[in-house]
Structure 1
Amino acid sequence: MVAAVVDRLGRLDVIVNNAGVHEGGDPASITDEKWRKVMSIDVDGVFYGCRAALPILKRPRARS
């Protein structure tokens, strides 16, 4: 996604990692599979999105 934005628009100014899921129930009833799904989307997704965007966001920009 980051590469597609840069290819199309020539730059990336900001990233908003806004995704999340919830598996209802108390901790004793949530399966490991459901917990991994939540963590994968809620935590891993944010990490990988930031990691992909950081090199682009850190590039020096021309002042206008």
Structure 2
Amino acid sequence: MRILYLLFPLLLLLVHSAAGSSLGPTNRKQCQKAKGSCSLLNCSFPYVIVGKCSRFYFCCKSVWG
């Protein structure tokens, strides 16, 4: 019973990290469907990273829509 207070936060941490893993696009096709573009390593100013296209390419989407 003493270990339950340690297991509960660990369980919440695992659930939290698993929920955030599938939020953004994960490949080039999904990125283009979300009206984004793939960029190498980072995005320039009016764009923000919203997902990944591949290992070194990130899905960039405009801040203003």
Q: TM-score, normalised by structure 2?
A: 0.32
Higher strand fraction: Structure 1 or Structure 2?
Answer: 2
TM-score, structure 1 normalization = 0.32
| Relative contact order, higher structure (CA 8 A, sep 6+) | 1
Structure number with higher helix proportion:
1
